[in-house]
Amino acid sequence: MIPWLDGEPGFPPLEQALSEPNGLLAAGGELSPAWLLAAYRRGIFPWFSGEEPILWWSPDPRLVLMPDEIRIHRSLRKVLRQQRFEIRIDTAFPQVMAECAAPREPGASTWITPRMQAAYCRMHELGYAHSVECWQHEKLVGGLYGMAVGRAFFGESMFSRETDASKVALAYLARVLESLDFAVIDCQMTTPHLLSMGAREIRRSEFGAALERLTRQNETPGHWPQELANAISWN
């Protein structure tokens, strides 16, 4: 059994999360800015399908990527130097979310429902949610989005319509975050793709302790300026 959340934003101790399914902590609550900020500051994120009640998660272990530890392999560095994509920041957040929500295969469903899209677009308006976008010939072909709270960035989803586009977006994200003195990128769940780019698993308790400090530092919500991406060089 997991607790049902109601009233003011608040979550049970992370240690109460289930081990199967890994990290399921609670149900209920809202997708309002107050609830989302309270969740991310604790290392908790919403993940549910369709019209189900909101489910809140905090898996153990947690996959994280330190911005200065990103691993850029030779083939990707070649793509970055060739500048195959124009990189933009925070110019098409709703479109990035919609692309991430698109089914990966016919008949597949998505957890990025219209309800979720509306909630995170509101966080983008408030300056907490950001997108890094790859464009080709004025067409959006890849990108990612996530939440920035204090000195922690919480990656939510990415997509790619051209080879290496999502990897390029992640590489730029890491460099942008490094320039802004962010300490960690939360990758949530472990994947071979993210491990290959330098992400590593840490204990949930270690992650939660770090967030107690990081999410209360450098709290400056607002859209990121394009100059952050323009200043990056891969030579």
Buried b (16+ CB within 10 A) or exposed e, 83-104: ebbebbbbebbeebbbbbbeee
**Residue 235 belongs to a domain:** no
Q: Are 97 and 150 within one domain?
A: yes
Single out the residue of 70, 78, 76, 38 nearest to residue 54, CA to CA.
38
Alpha helices by DSSP H, the chain: 33-42, 74-82, 93-101, 114-125, 165-179, 192-196, 204-214, 227-230
**Residue 26 belongs to a domain:** yes
Mean pLDDT of the chain: 95
Q: Are 75 and 101 within one domain?
A: yes
Q: Are 54 and 69 within one domain?
A: no
In this predicted structure, the answer to whether residue 199 has a pLDDT above a threshold of 90 is yes
Give the mean pLDDT of 138-152: 98
Q: Are 133 and 202 within one domain?
A: yes
In this predicted structure, the answer to whether residue 154 has a pLDDT above a threshold of 80 is yes
Find all residues with CB under 8 Å of 8, minimum gap 6, and list them: none
Q: Are 50 and 71 within one domain?
A: no
Say which residue the tokens 């323009």 belong to: 230
Q: Are 68 and 141 within one domain?
A: yes
Per-residue pLDDT of 169-195, as tens digits, reads 999 999 999 999 999 999 998 999 999
Q: What is the pLDDT of residue 49?
A: 87
Tokens, residue 5: 């959340």
Q: Which CATH number characterizes residue 53's domain?
A: 3.30.70.3550
DSSP characters over 39-98: HHHHT-EE---TTSPPEEE--SSEEEE-GGG----HHHHHHHHHT-SEEEESS-HHHHHH
Q: Are 203 and 99 within one domain?
A: yes
**Residue 51 belongs to a domain:** yes
Q: Are 51 and 69 within one domain?
A: no
Q: Which CATH number characterizes residue 134's domain?
A: 3.40.630.70
Q: What is the pLDDT of residue 103?
A: 78
Confidence band, pLDDT 50/70/90 cuts, at residue 107:
low
Domain with 52 in it: 4-59
Q: Are 175 and 118 within one domain?
A: yes
Confidence band, pLDDT 50/70/90 cuts, at residue 110:
confident
**Residue 222 belongs to a domain:** yes
Q: Are 159 and 49 within one domain?
A: no
Q: What is the pLDDT of residue 108?
A: 63
Give the span between the Cα atoms of 43 and 119, in whole angstroms.
18
Q: Are 34 and 69 within one domain?
A: no
Q: What is the pLDDT of residue 106?
A: 64
Q: Are 12 and 47 within one domain?
A: yes
Residues facing residue 49 across a β-bridge: none
pTM of the entire predicted model: 0.95
Alpha helices by DSSP H, 126-179: 165-179
Per-residue pLDDT of 45-92, as tens digits, reads 999 987 789 999 999 999 999 999 999 999 999 999 999 999 999 999
- Structurally, the chain folds into a number of domains equal to 2
**Residue 196 belongs to a domain:** yes
Give the mean pLDDT of 144-149: 98
